[in-house]
Structure 1
Amino acid sequence: MSEDNPHSSNGSTNKSFLDKIVQVFTGEPQNKEELVEVLNDAGDRDLIKPETKQMIQGVLEVSEMRVRDIMVPRSQMVTIDINQPLEEILPIILESGHSRFPVSSEDIDHIEGVLLAKDLLAYGFGQQETDFSLKSIIRTAIIIPESKKVEPLLKDFRSQRYHMAVVVDEYGGVSGLVTIEDILELIVGEIEDETDDEIEEDIKHLAGNVYQLKSLTELCDFNEYFNCQFNVDAADTIGGIVIHEFGHMPKKGEIITIDHFEFKVISSDKRRLQVLQVTLPKDHVVTGKLSD
């Protein structure tokens, strides 16, 4: 009878899965493909959660990547000039929402250090702007080559306790930057902080001519609020317009200019945009009103 058969279908299935586990971890011939197969089997049988499977696969992917594969490219870097006064630096920090900034002299290929936004707090509590010297408060910049592997870089981030590195090409020119968050997001998925939260309002004024908005903001509302005329026949939402212009699903940090409006992706995943930042043309007048 089947119940007395030690080789029942269920037993055979379990044995097959366990055999694969043993094979992977006992020194027999093994490779990434075999390990992925085991993970897929475990996921299909609900032996591990999808989130766990995703994290393990993320670790496997990271082990093969180099810094050039994940860095924020040079064109999207937000930098500060070492000679800029405090009143020019603060708007850059507010508009970008970042906490660390490469500081350059002459041009972006001459990195002098890294500014931590928190190091400017003292100048808002008692110290006079005349005491301000950017050169005196910047931290040492960590410089790494594009070819460096991501896995040892993550170990360096942890052991040496820094969070950002400037990436250079074979000729010594700056090609981008990478943060510890960039690596962790490859493993655990999008990491949201205070600046990544979904905003309650469809449109929120940040500073100057910079606004933050939900990507699902109706295009007619966007046009009315910002006194513009994006084509409502092209998409229903402002996020739809942005995706159409990119021609692909943009990632966090990507920037595009449409009709002199600069759009930056603040939050997104593989399926949809979530939050955008828009910088308006200089002297552009908005109505600031939405239809009821």
Structure 2
Amino acid sequence: MNEDDSNGTKADDGGLSNWWRRVTQRLAGTGPRTRDDLLELLREAQAAELMDADALGMFEGILETAETQVRDVMVPRAQMVVVDQAWPLERILAVVVESGHSRFPVIGESRDEVVGILLAKDLLKFSGGAPGFGVASFDMRRLTRPAVFVPESKRLNVLLKDFRRGRNHMALVVDEYGGVAGLVTIEDVLEQIVGEIDDEYDEAESAPILKQDERRYLVNALTPIEEFNEYFGTDFPDEEFDTVGGFVLHRFGHMPKRGESVRIDRFNFNVQRADGRRVHQFQVTLAPG
């Protein structure tokens, strides 16, 4: 028994020593020359049990932030929860309570006219009946904070630095024509590194299928094909693929980016949220008739 344990330990030490020897040999020269070289070292470290799979995934996510653009992770304009600067306090409080968000873009005439950001915590004094803070004293202009605007093409690693430096948690994303394309939060960036950060409100938002209107639906990529078939009366094959995401990705033939679409039967699948590793959500539009 002791001999077997000793042999096993020697074998493990030998594998670790060999891996460390390769690392020191590479670093003794110029080090990893490319991103792929660095990833190979990290994967060898995980294989040698110097780190677990979660840690490797975070390292990979950190490297991907240098290549991922804001447009790939932002919340699209159509899904933004906003408040109008002309709304009364009661209507604003209703939106805040229903959505569960902590920050809201404040708009003027349209969603392209974002005049600032409203923090839900700034409304607490108006909802709690504090002396001097009632409907009559409510002034949206005094509560609205400056909004930060970033281009769609901005890299996530740069955006994260800007968030930290400016102590911001949300930015409005603008397209090349200056129109608002969506919004991005610091949570959206961190999820590219550590994976999905779910809370009780995310659970409601990540419903498998959410109807927007008579022809448009938001569909979670992890929705089982059987559930999709039952909802829409379709017969997509569920033997080879378990989820809608797997089936649609097969039809794409590559890892799509946000905004890409593919037509399958009478459905148009448009990628709403995606990163370098997987698609999170589709907007499904039914063909007329």
Same fold (TM over 0.5): yes
Task: Tell me which amino acid in the other structure corresponds to 2:178.
Answer: G
CA deviations on 1:236-276 (whole Å, 9 max, x unpaired) are 6x99849x8994389xxxxxxxxxxxxxx9xxxx7999xxx
Matched, 1:128 2:130: no
Change in Cα spacing, 1:27 to 1:102, as seen in structure 2 (3 Å) is same
2:163 aligned partner: 157
* Displacement of 1:194: 5.1
1:56 aligns with one of 59, 67, 89:
59
Q: What's the TM-score once normalised by structure 2's chain length? A: 0.65
Work out whether 1:67 is the aligned partner of 2:84. no
* Partner-residue secondary structure (3-state), 2:188: helix
Which position in structure 1 is the counterpart of 2:174? Answer: 168
Distance apart, 1:96 and its partner CA: 1.2
% identity of equivalent residues = 41
Contact 1:215 1:239 in 2 (8 A): no
Matched, 1:101 2:98: no
Task: Tell me if 1:87 matches 2:90.
Answer: yes
Query: Where does the alignment leave 5 or more consecutive residues of structure 1 unmatched?
Result: 1-7, 199-211, 217-233, 251-264, 274-292
Per-residue CA deviations over 1:168-220 (Å, capped at 9, x if unaligned) read: 01110000111111111111122234534x7xxxxxxxxxxxxx59969xxxx
**C-alpha distance in 1 between matches for 2:159 and 2:112:** 21
Establish whether residue 192 from structure 1 lines up as the match of residue 198 from structure 2: yes
Alignment partners' CA distance in 2, 1:54 and 1:176: 27
In 2, are the aligned partners of 1:24 and 1:34 still within 8 Å (CA)? no
Aligned AA for 2:104? Answer: F
> Cα gap change, 1:28/1:56 in structure 2, threshold over 3 Å: closer, same or farther?
closer
TM-score (norm 1): 0.64
Residues 235-274 of structure 1: pairs in structure 2 closer than 5 A: 235=226, 241=231, 247-248=244-245
Structure 1 residues 34, 240: closer, same or farther in 2, change over 3 A? Answer: farther
Question: Which of the residues 15, 21, 24 maps onto 2:23?
Answer: 21
Write the distance in 2 (CA, Å) between the matches of 1:180 and 1:73: 15
- Does 2:185 align with 1:179? yes
| CA-CA distance at 1:89 after TM superposition | 1.0
* Higher helix content, 1 or 2: 2
Q: How much does 1:99 deviate?
A: 0.5
In the alignment, is the contact (CA less than 8 A) between 2:19 and 2:48 conserved in 1? no
Report the equivalent of 2:144. Answer: 138
Change beyond 3 A, Cα 1:185–1:135:
same
Letter in 1 for 2:164: R
Task: Name the aligned partner's letter for residue 131 of structure 1.
Answer: S
Change (3 A) 1:118 1:38: same
Distance 1:30 1:43 in 2: 20
The total of aligned residue pairs comes to 216
In structure 1, distance between residues paired with 2:47 and 2:158: 32
Question: In the alignment, is residue 43 of structure 1 matched against residue 46 of structure 2?
Answer: yes
Contact kept? 2:89, 2:138, Cα under 8 Å: yes
CA 1:79–1:52: 2 relative to 1, 3 Å:
same
Cα distance in 1, alignment partners of residues 39 and 206 from structure 2: 37
Q: Give the Cα separation in 2 of the matches to 1:164 and 1:49.
A: 32
Q: Deviations over 1:74-126 (max 9, x none)?
A: 11111111101111111211121110000110100000000000110111233
